[in-house]
Amino acid sequence: MPQEPPQTPRNGSNWPEWGNYIVFTIVLAFVLIANVFIQPRESETTLSYSAMKEIVREGNVQSAILREHDIIVETEAADGEDTRTFRAVIPSLGDPELMKLLEDQGVDVTATEPRDVSILTYMLPWILILGVYLWLQRRMMGGVAGGPGGMAGGLLSGRFSRPAKSTKTLTFEDVAGQDQAKREVAELVEFLRDPGRFNSVGAEVPHGVLLVGPPGTGKTLMAKALAGEADVPFFSTSGSEFIEIFVGVGAGRVRSLFEEARKAAPSIIFIDELDSVGRTRGTGLGGGNDEREQTLNQILAELDGFSEREAVVVLAATNRPDVLDPALLRPGRFDRHVTLNLPDKKARRAILDIHARKLPLEDTGDLDQMASGTPGFSGADLKNLLNEAAISAARRNADLISRRDLDEARDKVMMGTVRTLAIRPEERHRLAVHEAGHTAVCFFTPEADPLYKVTIIPRGHALGGTHSLPESERHTLDESYLRDQLVTLLGGRAAERLFLGTVSSGADDDIRRATSIARAMVARWGMTKELGPIDLRESDEHPFLGRSIAQPRSHSDKIAAEVDHAVIGILNEAEARATATLKDHRSEIEELISSLEAKETLDFDEIQLCLDPERKIKQPQRVTHSVTKIPAVRHAEKPN
């Protein structure tokens, strides 16, 4: 029966667990020896030698013990007092009168035999101390030969995984929604399985593949699936593992990692969060001597190298490709870039199918609506959504995960947990008016996304919300769609002004989002005749996270004023359209407000019953059933 390879401790060192018991045994032996040779003294009073002789002359001494270097006497007990013990050191030259004085006073004298202690006995504790010191020094330096078993060896080896044949627990079948990325990465599988076939014709497969994409899109999962498909050793580490406080440790770890990968070739090296160590050089406080830059230089040398790297593929993942050093991205290093985008509706359904394989769903068709209602969700977000749904079902002691659990999980992930908030009646009415305004404008606006539900139940930082389900994925945003979005965003504020006569701070997020869209229409996409097609933005978007990075303004104050004027015009026009829509359907909206205050949450059918009871307005197809289906997993019936 084959034996499993020895497990490597988590700290990256080869120090066995039983080594701790050896250290404990050495320390215990030292304590016992010290206890033997350093005997505790009895409770006694130390006197000068002259004072000791005076006590003997007074005739109060009952007994005396003569030892090699001192004398201990015990006085007679007086009425009501205990005996007392005194000690004095005998002069090194001796005192011949001492024995005569003790005999004259009738003292019972006892002499102890001198201990025959060799010099080795005295030196044994120091030998143990020296041995422990040398052992610790050997551990710190990695042994006499500088082997990997020491602490320095552990620092240099890092915490990357040791080579072990993959059990194919993960394959490309476990990666859904990234078909294009899988096709690009799959080309490496054949090379790893049969590198000689490629080398015989002089073909070189890219040795460096950079996986880029937003967080949670499956970059690490793709690398593990590649290792599972190729069935080769997989070395996994993070960019931050290379950086330590000790100078040169990072570069040493890089050398150790690549050396072990070459020994196990064909193999895969995966470096997660490459941006933590691969940032553009020259930006650190330490200049060229910065530890991070030294580590990056070693990575560049290993990728490019003077020695041939046979059948070793290096994968790296990052969500910040914009900060990487250009030398990392040149041909011969990470020359192939594979982008993993956020999944579209079809991909989201495929991802939900994978994560729902072992979940007891009441109806697998509910996943269609979840796929439609989760635009912008990554694979990790979808997995978390299903887990929250399972938790919700378990909380109510249900055997199956229902659509109610999925809806609750979606709302919790998108907006937060339901809050218990004491809201005054007038505030609750204003909140219903605000959300009814959003809902009505969205319902009556032609190109707005189809409504899903509206609620005035506080969640997270929001006091309420109007939810829409996009009919289809949009890859470009046309001007009419954007203007309809602005009308929907400002519908809540317009409803407050129309029905209540004043506006409130509840439109804070609506105004912020509307202003951002309007400014992008003017300064980025050239959707105004006055300014035309010119880039006037004052910040750049992060390539994946969507955050803005401020940059110096490159246009005049006059142009900036024209941009502001155009943005204000677009927003005022959108608010005017929203107000006109609300006035045209005032009675229906009042019915919606009353129903929303009574029920707190309305789905689409209830919204339509208030705004369009005769169903005169044609609604788009709400749910498109996907082709992919999974069988429902049901629990066995419980015995009676």
**Catalytic site positions:** 435
Residue pair 369/623 in contact (Cβ under 8 Å)? The answer is yes
User: Which run of H or E residues covers position 582?
Assistant: helix 557-584
State whether the Cα torsion 233-260-238-266 is positive or negative. negative
Torsion of CA 295, 300, 301, 302, to 10 degrees: 90
**Residue 533 tokens, joined:** 């097609």
User: Which run of H or E residues covers position 54?
Assistant: helix 49-57
CA dist 349 and 382 (Å) reads 9
Residue pair 607/452 in contact (Cβ under 8 Å)? The answer is no
- 451-455: strand order across its sheet: 465-468, 451-455, 601-603
Residue partners of 334: CB distance under 8 A and separation at least 6: 208, 209, 210, 303, 314, 316, 328
DSSP-derived secondary structure letter, 538: S
Residue pair 364/356 in contact (Cβ under 8 Å)? The answer is yes
CA dist 639 and 636 (Å) reads 9
CA distances to 38, 154, 284, 564 from 290, rounded to whole Å, are 53, 22, 7, 45
DSSP-derived secondary structure letter, 401: B
DSSP-derived secondary structure letter, 245: S
DSSP sequence for 333-354: SS-EEEE-PPP-HHHHHHHHHH
Which of 510, 480, 483 minimizes the C-alpha distance to 495? Answer: 510
In degrees rounded to 5, what are phi and psi of residue 429? Answer: -65, -40
CA dist 175 and 384 (Å) reads 16
**Residue 493 tokens, joined:** 């504020």
CA distances to 57, 187, 271, 299 from 208, rounded to whole Å, are 97, 13, 11, 11
CA dist 232 and 225 (Å) reads 11
238 in helix, strand or coil? strand
Indicate the burial class of 87 (C-beta count within 10 angstroms; 0-12, 13-18, 19 or more): middle
